[in-house]
Each structure stands twice: as structure tokens, then as C-alpha cells.
Amino acid sequence: MTEPYSLAVEPWLPVATVEGERKFVRLRDIGRADLLRIDTGRADCDISVTEFVIGLIAISMGPTDNDDWPDRFETPPTPDEIEAAIAPFAHALVLDGDGPRFFQDFEDLELLADAAREPIASLFMETPAGHFVKEGTVSALSRRGAAIALITLQTSAPTGGRGHFTSLRGGGGASTLVIPRPEKRSPTLWQLIWANVPDDYVIPKEEVEAALPWLAPTRCADKLGGTTTEHVHKSQALFGMPRRIRLTFVPGNGERCAITGDTDDVVVRSYVTRPNGTKYLTHTWRHPLSPYYKTKDKVLGEIWLPLHFKASGVGYRDWVGLTLKERSAESDVASLPADIVTAFLRKRAADIGLDVRQPNSVGLLAAGYAMDNMKPLDFTEAMLPLISTGDEKRDYDLAGCATAMVQAAEAASQLLLAALKTALYTDKKKAQPESGKAPLAAARARFWADTENAFYDTLRDLAKTTEDADGKVYVEARKAWRGMIRAAALAIFDDLAPIEAPDSPDLKNIVNARSMLFFGLSGPIIWKALGLAPPDKGEKKAKPNGTRRKAA
């Protein structure tokens, strides 16, 4: 019988180094200057494991006053300091053995009548439990790989059928990590972790058992109902465990781990699971690394829910909700960035001398699954800039302007797609959305890509301006943005629907479509989206084809 596998002492953490290598290190080593990031080989696992390490540091040695954070950012703790800090949690970091198991149910589920055995491949989001698993896809995980897979599933669990509940943030909830770039260089692993450690999560020794859900019997939904912040320790926001799982460890025979690629004397080929784990009532929780939005529930009224990304990916259209507080039309707060993002913008950036108005000073890594109920459609990951005026009131103004710019861009993209349909699909049957899906989707994606830099440049310029009581600078910025999106849309149309061939049977449609697009981009739809009054009707307008070309 081997010794229990402890994540507190084993080199299980896969990391990327400054030399371009991938190594396995111990938790005590995360302050080393040569480590850059978690590198499991899977983007979803990278985010989940990074979040776990952030949570562990938060409860063991997180900042407790205003002076703690900047000092630790500049001077990482030594390996001995980290080891001493996590020592009270060592018994919670044991993956196997007879006692409590890391991120696994407190009970031995194999002894329960309604437990079911699943192949290890079912731990992965793309292979939900109970679904057919193609033979040979994922046959075994090393103990390192099993720990990584467990963290990822419990962190992002989708609906797994009756009694198999979603994660604390719902299936695949969005996560945002601040990426500080001191001197415009990539942060070390420690700087990345410390930048995202929330305040006031340090747990006294006497509260450890209550803080980590796998150290106590599961709060089963069939007996106790939903779980809120009133029922369990607040740190479960960082360590939610909705699924009842116990891994089965067997001797390895030299096969490589499906995640890490290493071999192990002990592997996991299957696990036992049982329904009715912890049912976190999502609207009662606030995860410090996730953005939230306000919505209305028929029973509960107004509630806050964690944001989930769409399969189309993340771009500047999502920027406001991920970075700044956004107001609704009623001037009420409609969306909230992650608490850690707000903390960084309000104080932490200045504490370490980072100017969030400058390019490449601070980034925001946004990641999460796009879900269709139980089915993950895509795992999306994007790096966005963090931009702020440094003042909460002025940030509301900046957010309002950014929201109007996105609304105008959305309206312009719809006008562009409508014009392209008219120009390219003369046959009404061929003009159905499915026939033009690929080229139209490409045009839409290009429009957002072509206007992205201008969007962020505009916001940086606005953030650098002095306070404008009359809001004139924001009005001028919106007017300038109208010209930018109009130019981008027309350029894309001209590339995709050229009229250089005078004998083209679609020439008339193309000319009419471009005229329709030109006037649409100059019309009330765009002005309304920008929140501006259109110019007087008597004002002289440019000709739709300008001086660019002549129609034959």
C-alpha cells in the first residue's frame, strides 16, 4: 500500500517556466521567479487550477489590511513561508486514503446502494456522466491528472441529470483574472495569483473543517434543500463541491495520463458517484472572480446571477460588463464586474504603480464555457484590456459611453449583414439564412475585429481626459465612433460585394444594397443607439457612393 498522495507535499502542479519548459512543482514553490503560469495542457483546467491556488492562498495567507497586498506583490513569500501557511490545511489536500479526500465526498460511496460507477472520462465537461464514452479516449489519469480533473469539474460542473447539480456559479460560469504587467512584461505566477487573491478570506485554524466542504458530510439537497451563504462558510464560494464523487485508485501499468502525459504507479480509471449532492442556490452567492448581472425572477424578483459566455466568444462587446459597473436605462446598476477587478482598479493598480489608462499595463483574462444546458458548446478564452479613469463616478460615464458605442456597433453590424444578403443572394430561396451562414458570420466577425482597436483607443483617450461636467467629450467620442463603424462596415461590404465586373447580373442589387447600407449607417438607428439626436434634416448629406467609385 502506497503512502497517501498529498497535494501539500507532492510536485503535482504543472507550470510553464520562463525558459519555455513545463514542470511539475510543489505548492510551496509557487513564489519562484522563473514560473509564469499554470500549464495543464487544457485551457479549462488551467483556469480552474489557477482559481484553486488563488483560493488556497486567500484562506491561508491572504491580505488582511491595506499594507499587506503591495508588499507581497513585490516580495513573494519563500517556500518555507508558503508551506507553513498551508500546513493547517494539509489534511484537506490528501487525494486518497481512508480519511477525507480532496474535492471528494466525505462518505465511502461504494457502500451506498444508489451509487453508480462511471468511467474516468466522465469527469470531463465534454463527456457528461451517464453518456456513452468512446473506448480509448480517456482510459486513465495519474494522481496529478485526477486532482486537476476533479478541481475542474467541481468548479464548472454542468447539469448532470436528476440530482447531479451545477457548480456554485452554474454550469461553466465565467471567470475573470487580472493580469498585471509591471514594466509592461508578463507577470510571474506568484504575481498573477496574488493580483487575484481577494481580501478578508483568511480562515482561522478552528474554522478549517467548516470552510472546506469535503472535510464534513455532504449537505445533501434531498434532505436539507438548497445551500446558501447562511448555511455554510463563505469560503465555499472558492471551493464549491456540488458533485458527490469518490475516485477509485488502482495500480498503473505504464499508461500515460490523459491530462499531464506522465506515468504513475497508481492511476484512476473510474469513480463512484451518487446523486443529491450540495445544491448551491446560485443567486445567493458571490464568487470574487466572476462578473454578475441583474435579472428578474418570477418568484424571487430582482436577483444577481453569474455571467455565462456565449459560443460566439468574448470581445469588446462584453467589455463593460467584465470591467466596469454598468447602469441600466433606469440609472440602476445592471452589471457588476468581479470583485477582484473592482479592487484592482480602485486601489491595487496604483499601489504597484500601474496606470490603467496606458496600453499593455493591465490585462483581463476572461474565460468560461458556453453551455447548452448539459452540453458544453465551447470553452472561450480572451485577453481584454483593463481601462479606468481612476474615479468611480467618472467610470460610470465611461461605461455609459462604451455601452452606447457597443450598441451602435451592433446596429451597424446588423445593417451590414442585411445589405450583404441583398447584394449576394438574389435568389429568394438561396437568400435563406442557412445558405449564407458562413460568409455572413465571417463578415460579422471581421466587423468586430476591425473596430476593436479603435474602441479601446477611444476609451483610453476618454480615461485620460479631465472631468467633463457637461459630458461634451463623451458626445464627441460617440460622434467620432459613428464615423469609424460606418467606414468599417462600408469597407467590408466593398470587399465582399465588389462591382468591378460590369456584366454581373447582381450589379443592380449590389448598388442598391450599398446605398441602403450607406443611408442606414447615417440614419436614426445609429444615432439612437449612440444616445444622440440626429442632425437636422436640412443638413447637407454626402452622396452614398462618395468619390470611391462610379456604378456602371
Tens of pLDDT, residues 39-53: 999 999 999 999 999
Find the mean pLDDT for residues 488-497. Answer: 94
Alpha-helical regions (H) of 286-435: 319-323, 339-343, 349-351, 392-424
> What is d(CA 140, CA 388) in angstroms, rounded to the nearest whole number?
47
Class of 391-552 in CATH: mainly alpha
Confidence of residue 505 (pLDDT cuts 50, 70, 90): low
**Is the pLDDT score of 454 beyond 80?**
yes
**Is the pLDDT score of 264 beyond 90?**
yes
Q: What is the pLDDT of residue 529?
A: 96
Q: What is the pLDDT of residue 133?
A: 41
Tell me if 415 sits within 8 A of 521, measured CB to CB: yes
Find the mean pLDDT for residues 206-227. Answer: 93
Q: What is the pLDDT of residue 538?
A: 53
**Is the pLDDT score of 552 beyond 60?**
no
Q: What is the pLDDT of residue 354?
A: 94
Helix (H) or strand (E) holding 119: strand 116-119
Residue at 282: amino acid letter: T
CB atoms within 10 A of CB 464: 12
> What is d(CA 405, CA 411) in angstroms, rounded to the nearest whole number?
10
Which region among 95-104, 128-137, 400-409, 466-475 has the lowest average model confidence (pLDDT)? 128-137
Q: What is the pLDDT of residue 430?
A: 47
> What is d(CA 298, CA 222) in angstroms, rounded to the nearest whole number?
24
Q: What is the pLDDT of residue 504?
A: 59
* pTM greater than the 0.85 cutoff: yes
CATH 1.10.132, the chain: domain bounds: 391-552
Confidence of residue 134 (pLDDT cuts 50, 70, 90): very low
**pLDDT above 90: percentage of residues in the chain:** 70
Whether the CA torsion 68, 69, 73, 79 is positive or negative: it is: positive
For 283-300, letters b (16+ CB in 10 Å) and e give: bbbbbbbbbbbeeeeeee
Confidence of residue 437 (pLDDT cuts 50, 70, 90): low
Confidence of residue 112 (pLDDT cuts 50, 70, 90): confident
CB atoms within 10 A of CB 222: 10
Summarised one tens digit per residue, pLDDT across range 143-170 is 999 999 999 999 999 887 788 899 999 9
**Is the pLDDT score of 348 beyond 90?**
yes
